[in-house]
Structure 1
Amino acid sequence: MAVKSPCTDLCLFEGKTGWCRGCGRTRKEAQEWRKMSPYHRQTIERALAARIKAVSKTEA
């Protein structure tokens, strides 16, 4: 079964936080996504919207 990824194919990692501007994950989270347990993926997914919002504020 394929694991749904939040990747948006826009891999630009913000220097200060290390979060991707496209999906909000860190480089390590993106690399380990398929190996993570459903619990860990859900925990990260809950934080992604806030991360993306925070990164977009630093761009403005």
Structure 2
Amino acid sequence: MRVKKIVSYYNGYLIIFIVTVRLGLPAVKNRASINRVVAGGVVPEQLELFVVPNPCRGICQTDERGYCRGCFRNRNERFSWGQMSDAQKQDVLRLCRQRMKRLQRSEKADALAESHQPSLF
């Protein structure tokens, strides 16, 4: 094994990656070849370089379905945020985006339905 240092810049910040390289392994060209190269065929979990931000916007009111009107998390997701792993937090953020898009689509459909009604005044 050999240790390799990779220096990069991200949004003006200097980031240094320290990676170990196994000698004698074939070149990796895509995810399928990564699965063949890594022992057991399992790719290790990606390391997060930055903390997953809390999506709270300070509104903290729930709608009729039990989701926060600001961040779209349910009660359990809000209260257990501090104990979640980064992967779990990313999953919650994905669910929040889905919930927000679903609400936007329903509001848009409601607005279109109302716009078909001609004004009487």
- Asked if Structure 1 and Structure 2 have the same fold, meaning a TM-score greater than 0.5 normalized by the shorter chain, the answer is yes
Is residue 2:87 matched to residue 1:43? no
Q: Which runs of 5+ in 2 are unaligned?
A: 1-50, 111-121
Asked if the contact 1:13/1:20 (under 8 Å) is kept, the reply is yes
Sequence identity percentage = 33
Equivalent in the alignment of 1:54: 102
Gaps of 5+ in 1: none
Q: What TM-score comes out, normalization by structure 1 length? A: 0.74
Which is greater in Rg?
2
Q: 1:12 aligns with which of 58, 61, 67?
A: 61
Q: How much is the aligned-residue C-alpha RMSD, in angstroms?
A: 2.1
Higher strand share: 2
Runs of 4+ in 1 over 6 A off after TM superposition: none
TM-score by length of 2: 0.41
> Which structure dedicates a bigger proportion of its chain to helix?
1
